[in-house]
A and B are shown apart, each in its own frame.
Chain A
Amino acid sequence: MAEQRVITAEGLQQLIAILAGEGRRVIAPTVRDDVIIYDDIESIDDLPLGVTDVQGPGSYRLVDAPEAEYFGFVVGPHAWKKFLHAPQIELWRAQREGGGVNIHAADIYAERAAFIGVRACELAAIAIQDRVLTGGQHVDAHYKMRRDHALLIAVNCSKAGGSCFCASMETGPAATGGFDLALTELKTAQDHLFLVDVGSSAGQALMDQISSRAATAQEHNAAQAQVEHTTESMGRSMPAGVNTPQLMADNLLHPRWQEVATRCLSCANCTMVCPTCFCTTVDDVSDLAGERYARERRWDSCFTMDFSYLHGGGVRNSVASRYRQWMTHKLSTWVEQFGSSGCVGCGRCITWCPVGIDITEEVRAIAGVEAV
């Protein structure tokens, strides 16, 4: 890998301008209604400078940050899957003509997007969705088109959130690959710098247009230290020394599933905010004349009754079985299906569960390990 470069906030602004100039949508964290979401930005001023998030089970707050950093927070309610694996799309439409039907596959458009501020756990999540949606015999053309045209500009986390446990999932907090550029924000009393690792030729081409200098050893070490500090301050962890996939497989009848069902709302929030959950369903629609048809696809969740519907009723009627499906899939069967865990430790399912059910805590309960 090429040497680390250093840019300033102006350099970052330059980068945004270059990306926009290329006709790209520039999407980055930005504050809306007191929450950091991912949305289009026009300049560095749209980034959440000086705010940070305080997260825990079922709780999220934005507060003023001790340091005026651009990326001094962790992940919010949005995942990048919103842009890559769109929440709702039309697959095809058709029209009755004569005795037949004309079927038109939906045009597959990709916005050329640049994602700024992709965290290590999110890179891992994108890699997982890549395997799910493009790694098999069939390729999701909509996903692939968007994915191929997305530029990933990662940010190494300078702090860990209250729900974060990427370190224990070995997916972060530092980006190790799968990005075009990776930034480490270094804020000191004197300087506000970004160390840049280049991860692709596209990334290099961008760097070539921005004024930068080589990182000093001191800066390099400071960045390392920051990542180490983040690792050490993780809000949560998956229990160490537990073979989680096997644990799940061995405990399909554990009483904890019943217990969690008393708390679980089966509202599906965890699956919706999860950056790897990929399930979708389709609805067929028609006009009132019964002559035009379309099929629409949208995100679905294994927490809905309809998900497992089989002429007459659902296969998973109890909330316990639906929670079990989600958790065992994420942590166990996923490994057999796609070669890795489906969990990247981003903690969204913990923060955005309205009643604060904590997946790491549930694993501990089933493993019989004391809470930390």
Chain B
Amino acid sequence: METLEQMLGAHPFFAGLDPSFIGLASGCAHDVSFAAGEFICHEGDAADRFYLVREGHVALQISAPGRGVATFLTVGPGEVFGINWLAPPYRWSYDARTVEKTHAVALDATCLRVKCENEPALGYALTKRVLPVLIERLHACRTQLLDLYGVPS
């Protein structure tokens, strides 16, 4: 049986992180699994968890009246979602719903924030890992906006 610490250490998000920090973080971690089609969180709810996907896929969605539900990103093994945990107002800005049976490590947001406050080096290390994810998503978002595969008007 794999420990939570091992699970975290094996996840690309934590790759190379000081083992003591992994130990600290694992204190906030839970092993979770979801059935296919299950909602993990809803837009507007408190962002109380940060997820590290180990297996399966999760669709991040926004729905709009009259336009249905749109998936703007899918997150798979080795990827994360729920980075809203780090910044106020700590609320989900999308729905997350599994595409298939999904295993993940869930980190309790309040717990993690407290540990980061107490241990700024941990906070800085985690922030450095969250930022590239943000930048990459922002960039992906820009290219999606370009509608590259669409027909120029």
Let me know if A311 is at the binding interface, CB within 8 A. yes
Query: CA–CA, A313 to B151, complex, Å?
Result: 12
Let me know if B132 is at the binding interface, CB within 8 A. no
Chain B stretch 135-153: residues in CB contact (< 8 A) with chain A: 151-153
Shortest Cβ distance from residue B134 to the other chain A in the assembled complex, whole angstroms: 30
Query: CA–CA, A312 to B148, complex, Å?
Result: 12
Query: CA–CA, A101 to B152, complex, Å?
Result: 33
Shortest Cβ distance from residue B66 to the other chain A in the assembled complex, whole angstroms: 29
Chain B stretch 98-153: residues in CB contact (< 8 A) with chain A: 151-153
Query: CA–CA, A313 to B153, complex, Å?
Result: 9
Query: CA–CA, A313 to B152, complex, Å?
Result: 8
Query: CA–CA, A24 to B41, complex, Å?
Result: 88
Query: CA–CA, A164 to B153, complex, Å?
Result: 46
Which residue of chain B lies nearest to A312 when distances are taken between CB atoms in the complex?
B152
Interface residues on A, range: under 10
**Which residues of the partner chain B approach A312 to less than 8 Å between Cβ atoms?**
151-153
Query: CA–CA, A100 to B116, complex, Å?
Result: 77
Chain A stretch 306-330: residues in CB contact (< 8 A) with chain B: 311-313
Shortest Cβ distance from residue B151 to the other chain A in the assembled complex, whole angstroms: 8
**Which residues of the partner chain B approach A313 to less than 8 Å between Cβ atoms?**
152
Shortest Cβ distance from residue B146 to the other chain A in the assembled complex, whole angstroms: 12
Query: CA–CA, A312 to B151, complex, Å?
Result: 8
Q: How many residues of B contact A (CB 8 A)?
A: 3
**Which residues of the partner chain A approach B153 to less than 8 Å between Cβ atoms?**
312
Query: CA–CA, A311 to B153, complex, Å?
Result: 9
**Which residues of the partner chain B approach A311 to less than 8 Å between Cβ atoms?**
151-152
Which residue of chain A lies nearest to B152 when distances are taken between CB atoms in the complex?
A312
Chain A stretch 285-324: residues in CB contact (< 8 A) with chain B: 311-313
Query: CA–CA, A312 to B152, complex, Å?
Result: 5
Which residue of chain A lies nearest to B153 when distances are taken between CB atoms in the complex?
A312
Query: CA–CA, A312 to B147, complex, Å?
Result: 13
- How would residues 1 to 12 of chain B score, 1 for a CB under 8 Å from any chain A CB and 0 otherwise? 000000000000
**Which residues of the partner chain A approach B151 to less than 8 Å between Cβ atoms?**
311-312
Shortest Cβ distance from residue A345 to the other chain B in the assembled complex, whole angstroms: 41
Shortest Cβ distance from residue A312 to the other chain B in the assembled complex, whole angstroms: 3
Chain B stretch 10-62: residues in CB contact (< 8 A) with chain A: none
Query: CA–CA, A212 to B105, complex, Å?
Result: 101
Query: CA–CA, A311 to B151, complex, Å?
Result: 8
Chain A stretch 33-77: residues in CB contact (< 8 A) with chain B: none
**Which residues of the partner chain A approach B152 to less than 8 Å between Cβ atoms?**
311-313
Shortest Cβ distance from residue A309 to the other chain B in the assembled complex, whole angstroms: 11
- How would residues 70 to 92 of chain A score, 1 for a CB under 8 Å from any chain B CB and 0 otherwise? 00000000000000000000000
Which residue of chain B lies nearest to A311 when distances are taken between CB atoms in the complex?
B152
Shortest Cβ distance from residue A185 to the other chain B in the assembled complex, whole angstroms: 58
Query: CA–CA, A125 to B32, complex, Å?
Result: 75
Shortest Cβ distance from residue B2 to the other chain A in the assembled complex, whole angstroms: 52
Shortest Cβ distance from residue A31 to the other chain B in the assembled complex, whole angstroms: 51
Shortest Cβ distance from residue B18 to the other chain A in the assembled complex, whole angstroms: 43
Shortest Cβ distance from residue A310 to the other chain B in the assembled complex, whole angstroms: 9
Shortest Cβ distance from residue B152 to the other chain A in the assembled complex, whole angstroms: 3
Which residue of chain B lies nearest to A313 when distances are taken between CB atoms in the complex?
B152
Shortest Cβ distance from residue B149 to the other chain A in the assembled complex, whole angstroms: 13
Shortest Cβ distance from residue A221 to the other chain B in the assembled complex, whole angstroms: 66
Shortest Cβ distance from residue A168 to the other chain B in the assembled complex, whole angstroms: 44
Query: CA–CA, A277 to B152, complex, Å?
Result: 31
Shortest Cβ distance from residue A313 to the other chain B in the assembled complex, whole angstroms: 7
Query: CA–CA, A256 to B151, complex, Å?
Result: 35
Query: CA–CA, A67 to B151, complex, Å?
Result: 65
Shortest Cβ distance from residue B96 to the other chain A in the assembled complex, whole angstroms: 36
Query: CA–CA, A231 to B153, complex, Å?
Result: 55
Query: CA–CA, A311 to B152, complex, Å?
Result: 7
Q: Can you list 6 pairs linking A and B with CB atoms under 8 Å apart? A: A311-B151, A311-B152, A312-B151, A312-B152, A312-B153, A313-B152
Q: 3 tightest CB-CB pairs across the interface, nearest first?
A: A312-B152, A311-B152, A313-B152
